[in-house]
Chain A
Amino acid sequence: MVAIKYLNREQGFYLFLMMSAYVSTLVFGTYYYMADLPKLYIPTYGAFILFSLYGLLSFLSQIGLVTLFRLSITTALLAFFNQVYYTGGVLSSGLLEFVIPPLLAFFYRPIIDRYFFMALSGISLVAMFILTSLGFTTNLLPKALSVQHGILCAAFVFTIVSIYTFLFRNALVIKNKKIGDSMKELQDTTHKLIQSEKMASLGMLSAGVAHEINNPLNFIKGGIEILEDGLNEENELKFEAAPSIHVIKEGLSRATVIVNSLNHFSRHTDSMDEKCNLNEILNNSLVMLQPKLKYKGEVVKELTQNIPVITGNEGKLHQAFLNILSNAEQAIGKNGTVTVKSKQIKDKVVVEIIDDGEGINKENLKKISDPFFTTKPVGKGTGLGLAITYKIIEEHNGKITVTSKPGKGTKFTISFLSK
């Protein structure tokens, strides 16, 4: 059975055919030999020799399986015919054996052979009827053996039929499963591609949107400052308006922070010589995630002030850290915690992003940097986030290590050489 797995359908089929042919001719041959019935055991052993020859041929020559299959089925049919002929014709308990050749032919591919052997089997059956009714056939079996022989024949037919039906069914089921799997894979990939396309166009648009928001912010800021200036001579009015002006200014500065963070994520430069402050990058990324994190959990910031800047591409680093932080945000449940640390260890700047979320199992941990690997449902994740992150960190000569315990949480450690 194990060997079958690695053979194609036709090869597996033929292997089984030959095996059952060897076993059955040997069993029947020996049975008839012990009953001392030369007219039965000589042809049966003859069939065994022929089958062995075919087996040898399939190893030694280039004869195709189809040809060997035809030879084997014909040989089997002849052996059955002889057996039935000498065990009582249509009254023989071996009559059911005529089911086997059409069954084999039916499960075998080349369509013309299939019908040919079905017809041949049918003709043999009809011929056997005619021969029996004309009184040509004989029953050489002693009376004492007839029940035993009947059981043997029935067992033989039953075994062959069940094995081949099982084999055929399995082959079909495996094939269907394979088709189903590849269909699903195709659908998943299509979804992911659509999703990543969507994300890409969103990124492109956000730069323009940020700019457009900055203009109205500019109006408001200018307007409120002019108003404030105008109120300078009106002390009483100025005192009354102060809280409202403060509120407007506060709103303005919050909106400005958000829009500026957005701006960092849609930078167009490819240059790798910008001075990047990792603390600023982490803060900007947290601003972007604030709408989601605010209602879900807590962010603990342990950022070391005045850590050395690193040289690289600010926009890309923003993207990399946003990806890791956003994974942390998605991993935590209600009241979870995301801890963000930055520190200097000798000549290295190290960032740690720790969540107490669901964690990643060992098997998946190996795959997290593979493009398109995701455990999120179709349409939710592209499986590109961390793949891109790894690439960006690599471009900055950084190192990224992940440790995780299912149920406990995940820790990302990213380190860069500071120059």
Chain B
Amino acid sequence: MKNTILFVDDELINLFVLEKRFETDYNVLTAESAEDALKVVEENKSSLNAIISDLRMPGMDGLEFINQVKPNILDIPCFLLTGYDFTDQINDAIKSSKIHYLFKKPFDYIEIDTKLKEVL
């Protein structure tokens, strides 16, 4: 049985390549914004295993989104995938174990796959 992961990114191309790259090993869900992602999370509460979100997005950003999801809606491992480096906010989020890990763009499939396998 494949694990289900949700990718959140405001760039459609990012979602496309992530979906294509991960679809052989995972069930991939995508959302173009944090607001859409919240709906996806609600609809897939029972099957969703992990979330990987971009940090900077128009409207709600990645950290806010994860704060809303975890632990109130769903308590699953959450990751950030961002072009930015660590900030104090991210460090705090990692310390309070809201964020499991920060992946940097451009993504490394093996790195993400390894980290996901560790927690799933």
Contacts and interface: CB of A to CB of B under 8 A. Distances in A.
Interface in A243-300: 252, 256, 259-260, 263-264, 266-271
B43 interface: no
Interface string A210-225: 1111110111111101
A214 B83 contact: yes
Interface string B41-77: 0000000000000001000000000000000000000
Contacts of B105: 214-215, 217-218
Interface size classification for chain B: 20 to 34
Nearest to A220: B106
Given A214-B106, A256-B106, A271-B91, A225 B14 contact: no
Interface size classification for chain A: 20 to 34
A227 to B, nearest CB: 10
A260 B87 contact: no
Contacts, number: 75
Given A214-B105, A214-B106, A222 B14 contact: yes
A209 B83 CA distance: 10
B2 interface: no
Nearest to A211: B83
A268 B106 contact: no
B83 A219 contact: no
A211 B24 contact: no
A268 B88 contact: yes
Nearest to A223: B17
A221 B91 contact: no
Interface in A191-239: 207, 210-215, 217-223, 225-226, 229
Interface string B88-113: 10010000000000001111010000
B88 to A, nearest CB: 5
Contact of A222 (B56, B86, B88, B107): B107
A248 to B, nearest CB: 12
Task: Sort A-B residue pairs by CB-CB distance and give the 4 closest, nearest first.
Answer: A222-B17, A214-B83, A211-B83, A214-B105
